[in-house]
Structure 1
């Protein structure tokens, strides 16, 4: 007897738990190299020794040792509107999962009613042949109170596959939020580097205005002594005005850069002007940059993780479609009370109930179920291609960023040499012009060459910093940053004017 009970209980448990039909998800192999991002390339450029195959620092912006940059980066997760929107989408996916998972449990509904009935006289006459007493024609009350229960047994895993897909959707939403944070952190750093680069160019322009004003004064003194004509003076004055005219446009660019950073941190236009208007140096590249190992890229990049979750969701959806071919078993039951008098409603004689299972089996759907399975299989193939493409693009992003950094660093070294030589050439030209040995056009050419070299050097230094930012974005750095707890804000919280 005990063995029979054990077998019966085990069979019932198996029946209730069932087996989930459809394919089980197997995480794909990203196919990334183990030791070098340049594995398989016919041309392997030499990467700077600054790059190290060490774990990526989650707070990679700290490598620049720029206090202001670190301060604004720590505010991104809490203030950036795109990150906050992605957080709400994650919350939505969790609620949606709760809606889906509710189908695993029975439903129980309470219902009660009161009705006042008046039966038609003509109906009674037709049925009873005028043999009923007059009291049968009187209105009467009907009181009802009951409970309806229903439970669809998930024998074939139809609901469990839906829950699995919902869980994968949550994972995708979480990684999409991480990806949004990575992008926001990188965009803040990029705009900050460009701001500092613009401020450096403003300083270069102002320094050149002073230098060329000195040359203008020398030219005026030489005109007074009759050594040169007014042509040299006018050329020198024109050069001063030409350089000075570049400053307003650079100041406009500075304002726009500050506004871009203000928007990223949910501040009004100019909201960060007080802390960013003061000129700052372009952050120099760190002595060593940890980039991790290539095989870790699939784990680090949020977009790859999200693509894998979407592939998981597409695989689970196949199981949902396959389960539609199998019978649906539902346990139904109703228990209630019915009486003509409210005082009699809760007595045993008023009890009524019905219990029993129901089975629904699809017989003919016009090809709908087969087409749905084929559709889900095709969507899974599409999700796999998307995953593969995402991995490949990520790999390309890292390699492109490494090459861009290496080549720009080499270019910057040459530009620094050019600035040094151009500065010395200008000093010689000024000295020779003061001594009457050289024509003023030589001084003008030397001024323009130095100014152009200084501008290019400043832009190159900015490019190096931006390339490093692009590298860490490609590596997926920064998503480990802690998100603040999400609070439900009123719709007009961020728009006080509404």
Structure 2
């Protein structure tokens, strides 16, 4: 009885110590708080209403095909599937770590026969072995670290989902841009062909020199030369989409030429702190800090004694049928108190190592916040600049088209030099290509903005609960 009382007393002491060696809750440092601006400094994006679900921002775009491609990538992309398996592994590791806080029980059955001096005997044993280790919070801290690693895997999955969604959207936009460039070149090719036919007719009629014909051919062939390049880009982006959606290129389709997809342009940004905190990379860094804090606690608990209580209960008899009869019962109980005395400084060094890892995790968290600020501000500035550029280019296209038509009419009437016709045609082609590019840049800017604010993944409930 005295030994049992001593074991229980030691257990009470260790339980008390557990309350002294605990992991604090995650809190942002003052340096980390100062990283987050009070407001976004970039030019305001034209907004009308906020988007309710940033996790599926692609569903609000004008082109349904972009939504289909992104949705397919979210389920089929190989990087996302690997990230899901990593999350599955982290979930299993969390279960393993949690099991360390509970008693371990194993059933045992033994049967055998022995011979001595020509006499044989049988023996049968059946029983239950129990064990429980109590320490100063180390096992609980290990479970906390495993849970944080699980959250890290969830956020890492979100990072991959966000990145793949953005890459699919950008590849689709680039494909439509390449198709648009092919279309623009082919339209201008018709006009240039008409100019060549007229110049050639006038040359044969002796009205102009061969210079007009040569210039017309040069312009015509230059435009022709650009078409295979843009057509190759169409195939390249189709191949990229096939990889991102784990499909064959012929399954992607997208052969019909369509306009460059346009975003709804109704993204209303929340305050910087809310936006940045919900980015998956920031959440992943936060989980790493939480895990490092728990491992510091685990290392600190190793400096305190630990108690392992084990015992067994069972039956032992010479025949299997006699198991359970009176007199066949057996039981035992043990208590092992482990007191760290001399480890050549390894325990303190491990604690120092864990503290250093915690400081590194905090620095990485600050870096992820800084990266978030940069990406949001860059996206806002890109959209603003390209929108202004688009406005000017639309006016330039209108003037270039008018100038090209006037120059052609004047040349037909013999009032204009052919060089002016070619110049206005080239200018129109250049402006139209630039306008197509700026439309794609605006759409890509919105994709970058959605990605920068964490669009593409739903914030797991576990993170929301930790925020409370």
TM-score (normalizing by structure 2): 0.88
Q: Is 1:25 aligned to 2:3, yes or no? A: no
Report the counterpart of residue 141 of structure 2 in structure 1.
161
Q: Is 1:75 aligned to 2:72, yes or no? A: yes
Distance 1:345 1:150 in 2: 20
Q: Is 1:36 aligned to 2:39, yes or no? A: yes
Instruction: Give the alignment partner of residue 470 of structure 1, picking from 427, 448, 460.
Output: 448
Distance 1:111 1:95 in 2: 26
Contact kept, 8 Å, 1:20 with 1:160, in 2: the verdict is no
Distance 1:205 1:183 in 2: 33
Contact kept, 8 Å, 2:73 with 2:164, in 1: the verdict is yes
Report the counterpart of residue 298 of structure 1 in structure 2.
276
Distance 1:322 1:331 in 2: 22
Contact kept, 8 Å, 1:337 with 1:346, in 2: the verdict is yes
Instruction: Give the alignment partner of residue 238 of structure 1, picking from 212, 218, 221.
Output: 218
Q: Is 1:108 aligned to 2:105, yes or no? A: yes
Tell me how far 1:343 sits from its aligned partner.
5.0
Distance 2:40 2:454 in 1: 15
Distance 2:246 2:259 in 1: 25
Unaligned 5+ segments in structure 1 are: 1-8, 39-44, 120-136, 483-498
Contact kept, 8 Å, 2:21 with 2:137, in 1: the verdict is yes
Contact kept, 8 Å, 1:56 with 1:477, in 2: the verdict is no
* Paired residues, number: 448
TM-score (normalizing by structure 1): 0.83
Tell me how far 1:435 sits from its aligned partner.
2.1
Report the counterpart of residue 171 of structure 2 in structure 1.
191
Tell me how far 1:185 sits from its aligned partner.
1.3
* Structure 1 residues 468 and 451, CA gap change in structure 2 (3 angstroms): same
Contact kept, 8 Å, 2:138 with 2:298, in 1: the verdict is yes
Distance 1:266 1:330 in 2: 52
Tell me how far 1:158 sits from its aligned partner.
1.3
Over alpha carbons, which structure has the higher Rg?
1
Tell me how far 1:19 sits from its aligned partner.
2.0
Distance 1:277 1:195 in 2: 10
Q: Is 1:272 aligned to 2:264, yes or no? A: no
Tell me how far 1:53 sits from its aligned partner.
8.6
After superposition, residues 132-143 of structure 1 pair within 5 angstroms as 137-143=117-123
Q: Which moved more, 1:337-346 or 1:418-427?
A: 337-346
* Structure 1 residues 280 and 106, CA gap change in structure 2 (3 angstroms): same
Tell me how far 1:219 sits from its aligned partner.
1.1
Contact kept, 8 Å, 1:60 with 1:478, in 2: the verdict is yes
Task: Name the one with the larger helix percent.
Answer: 2
Tell me how far 1:479 sits from its aligned partner.
0.9
Distance 2:321 2:261 in 1: 85
Deviations 1:393-444 (A, max 9, x none): 1011100111111112222222222222222222222122222232222222
Q: Which moved more, 1:387-396 or 1:167-176?
A: 167-176
Contact kept, 8 Å, 2:45 with 2:384, in 1: the verdict is no
Q: Which moved more, 1:143-152 or 1:440-449?
A: 143-152
After superposition, residues 61-460 of structure 1 pair within 5 angstroms as 61-118=58-115, 137-273=117-253, 276-342=254-320, 344-460=322-438
Contact kept, 8 Å, 1:298 with 1:305, in 2: the verdict is no
C-alpha RMSD of matched pairs (Å): 2.6
Distance 1:365 1:350 in 2: 44
Distance 2:113 2:176 in 1: 82
Q: Which secondary structure state, in structure 2, belongs to the residue aligned with residue 149 of structure 1?
A: strand
Report the counterpart of residue 464 of structure 2 in structure 1.
none
* Structure 1 residues 20 and 141, CA gap change in structure 2 (3 angstroms): farther
Contact kept, 8 Å, 1:419 with 1:450, in 2: the verdict is yes
Distance 1:65 1:269 in 2: 24
Contact kept, 8 Å, 2:138 with 2:297, in 1: the verdict is yes
Distance 1:280 1:10 in 2: 78
Tell me how far 1:48 sits from its aligned partner.
4.3
Distance 1:400 1:12 in 2: 58
* Structure 1 residues 105 and 37, CA gap change in structure 2 (3 angstroms): same
